Amino acid sequence: MEEPLAILFDIDGTLISTGGAGARSWRWAFDYVLGVPADIGQFSEAGMTDPQVARGTFVAVLGRPPEDRELGKLMAAYLDRLPTEVETSVGYRVLDGVKELLPRLCREGFLLGITTGAVEAAAHMKLARADLNRFFCFGGYGSDSEDRAGLTDRAIQGAGGILGRPLDPGRVLVVGDTPLDIEAARAVGAIPVAVASGHYGEGELKEAGADYVLASLRDPLPLPDGWDKGRS
């Protein structure tokens, strides 16, 4: 493996847990817009994009696809509610190793980006409570593509835009906690690094095809020896 230049991080289950803030926001949005307090957990899986969650839950509870403006109203209601749910969530927490790892990676010159199924606004709302937005200068979001590979590719293009040249995906680590993160990394030729800090255990993530599996972000990333000169 060549020395990585960029590292992409998923959000939910990898960097933070919102303590269910997203699910509560979706429930509120469905109730506000449609009069149906839908539980997205029954109709979606970890790693799906926000638009997929919205459409899939709509079909499950109403038996038909949403009209375009219905989907727009749902997304707007979700984003309107999310900041309140994030700020008041008693279960919100930054996951192990994150607050120590991100500043060290930045100091050593790695480009850090986001790759997440959340739409861009929601992603930054979730990170804001922990003051984590400052570490990331580009990303791929559920608002860029409902396909995880597509949004991961968009993030890699963003890193290339900063470098001023296309970035070889083989020099990009994609760090996530679900099989969908692993699948997306493989699809674009990046290096999948799985963290067993979400819904899936180490064995499941190995079976899903991750090149590297970490128990948490306290474990070392697959980076060159001596990268972390300031680590204690």
Q: Residue 225: inside a domain, yes or no?
A: no
Is residue 55 domain-shared with residue 82, that is, in the same domain?
yes
| 58 and 142 belong to one structural domain | no
Q: Are strands 93-94 and 16-17 parallel, antiparallel or unpaired?
A: antiparallel
How does residue 36 score in pLDDT terms, banded at 50, 70 and 90? confident
Q: Among 88, 115, 139, which residue terminates a domain?
A: 88
* 98 and 48, same domain (yes or no): no
Look up the CATH number of the domain holding residue 188.
Answer: 3.40.50.1000
**Residue 78 DSSP SS3:** helix
228 vs 232: CA distance, rounded Å: 9
The pLDDT value recorded for residue 47 is 67
In a domain, 232, yes or no: no
* CA distance linking residue 81 with residue 122, whole number of Å: 10
3-state secondary structure of 119: coil
Q: What SS3 string covers 34-58?
A: HCCCCCHHHCCCCCCCHHHHHHHHH
- In terms of residue numbers, what domain contains 79? 21-88
Residues 58 and 160 in one domain: no
**CB-based contact 154:6 (threshold 8 Å):** no
Indicate if 35 and 118 belong to the same structural domain: no
Q: What is the mean pLDDT of the chain?
A: 92
| 3-state helix vs strand vs coil in the chain, percent to 5 | 45, 15, 40
Q: What is the mean pLDDT of residues 68-97?
A: 96
Q: Please report, rounded to a whole number, the percentage of residues in the chain having pLDDT higher than 70.
A: 94
pTM to 2 decimal places = 0.92
Residue 191 lies in a domain: yes
Q: Is residue 231 part of a domain?
A: no
Q: How many domains does the chain have?
A: 2
Give domain status of residue 219, yes or no.
no
Residue 231 has pLDDT above 60, yes or no: no
- Domain-embedded: residue 227: no
